[in-house]
Structure 1
Amino acid sequence: MSPRAGLTTERLVLAGAELADEAGFDQVTLSALARQFDVKVASLYSHLKNSQDLRTRIALLALAELADRGATALAGRAGKDALAAFANVYRDYAREYPGRYAAAQFRLDPETAAASAGVRHSEMMRAILRGYDLTEADRTHAVRLLGSVFHGYVSLELAGGFSHSAPDSQESWEWIVDRLDALLRNRPAT
């Protein structure tokens, strides 16, 4: 397939994202993408600089998709309901798109990160946390806590870490979200 036959940057990034979901984000390279489209790697250079550029663009796509889902899930919600909805967005996205979820963790340079939808993730978490009696400094800690817990749980679950024991991982997930809400509501004064 030649560039005239429909290769675009957007199409290549989406194909790379699909490859990440099927084979793993670490398997996404220009060579793998070229094989998928039955073209030479050189044919891709008019659309992408290199594999790093491809991975960055997949990360940006994943962050935007997650942010859009988060905004939709949060609409009209507050408190624990908002916390649970936002947590479920991450978990559901990771289950549906494991490679893209891994891409969302890809380290971006500071300028790219500042212009990415990752900023929206932080803003949404901060909006959720306004429903709790936290200082600004505590909100920063809480954003990091929530991100760590969500990502840690999802990563362990995707790796099969909870598939060999009772209770069901859904029950544990709900327990964790309940405890996070209780922790945030009952934060001891510092």
Structure 2
Amino acid sequence: MPRAGLSPTGVVDAALALIDEQGLEALTLSAVAGRTGVATPSLYKHVRNIGELRTLIAQRVMEEMTDLVGTAVMGRGGPEAVIALMRVWRRYAVEHPFRYAAMPPAPLTDPALAEAGGRLLEVVLAVLRGCGLDGGAAVHTARCLRAAVHGFAVLEVAGGFGLSEDLDTSYRLLEKTIVDGLLPAEND
């Protein structure tokens, strides 16, 4: 009989709290069990193993990002929506670096993550459709957009920008570079 009040959602909540505080490498079933006040074997009533827990965490992260990105771009179009997407993506990665690290690089290739990853991708592609991009052009642009935002945010979190110039100014330059370089000109 599962502990009253504990559920797969509660286990994921506890795991995310652990990750937020101690990093992804601290994630073990024993540590999550300690957080939830149960013995480790009791977690198996809620998750099959650490692999399933990692999958549930990745799903939650992608759901959080989809909600945040969707909200940020709502009512916006064109370059304004792209910049809103870029800003919220960076903010999530910087404010939740360990959660962000739990998102696998290729979620669409994992059947357990494809649905959540697909929803996030669909929001990105919808933003790009609003910029006149569709099909292969949208996919290529989405890849470049993801690489740019991910790379900047990961380097920022790791302290990879040690010079004194303002990071937000650098990021605005990245936004301008993406908008000017990847999106079709408005007069084309």
**What does residue 49 of structure 2 align with?**
50
Deviation at 1:39, TM superposition (A): 2.6
Conserved? CA contact 2:16–2:57, under 8 Å = yes
**What does residue 95 of structure 1 align with?**
94
- Give the distance between the partners of 1:186 and 1:107, measured in 2 at CA: 27
Conserved? CA contact 1:29–1:54, under 8 Å = no
Amino acid at match of 2:182: L
**What does residue 179 of structure 2 align with?**
181
Conserved? CA contact 1:16–1:28, under 8 Å = yes
- Give the distance between the partners of 2:18 and 2:89, measured in 1 at CA: 20
Deviation at 1:89, TM superposition (A): 1.3
Deviation at 1:84, TM superposition (A): 0.9
Q: Secondary structure at the match of 1:112?
A: coil
**What does residue 111 of structure 2 align with?**
111
**What does residue 120 of structure 2 align with?**
121
Conserved? CA contact 2:79–2:131, under 8 Å = no
User: How many residue pairs get matched?
Assistant: 184
Q: Which runs of 5+ in 2 are unaligned?
A: none
**What does residue 73 of structure 1 align with?**
72
* Distance change >3 Å, CA 132–CA 51, structure 1 → 2: same
% same residue = 38
Conserved? CA contact 1:59–1:106, under 8 Å = no
Deviation at 1:106, TM superposition (A): 6.0
Deviation at 1:176, TM superposition (A): 0.2
- Give the distance between the partners of 2:133 and 2:10, measured in 1 at CA: 44
* Distance change >3 Å, CA 185–CA 48, structure 1 → 2: closer
- Give the distance between the partners of 2:134 and 2:115, measured in 1 at CA: 26
- Give the distance between the partners of 2:40 and 2:97, measured in 1 at CA: 25
TM-score by length of 2: 0.89
Amino acid at match of 1:88: R
Establish whether residue 19 from structure 1 lines up as the match of residue 18 from structure 2: yes
Amino acid at match of 1:29: T
Deviation at 1:186, TM superposition (A): 5.3
**What does residue 148 of structure 1 align with?**
147
**What does residue 31 of structure 1 align with?**
30
- Give the distance between the partners of 1:23 and 1:106, measured in 2 at CA: 21
Higher deviation after alignment, 74-83 or 25-34: 25-34
- Give the distance between the partners of 1:91 and 1:110, measured in 2 at CA: 24
- Give the distance between the partners of 1:68 and 1:115, measured in 2 at CA: 14
Deviation at 1:22, TM superposition (A): 1.1
| Structure 1 segments (4+ residues) deviating >4 Å | 106-109
Q: Secondary structure at the match of 2:38?
A: coil
Q: Which runs of 5+ in 1 are unaligned?
A: none
Deviation at 1:157, TM superposition (A): 0.4
**What RMSD, in angstroms, separates the aligned Cα atoms of the two structures?**
1.9
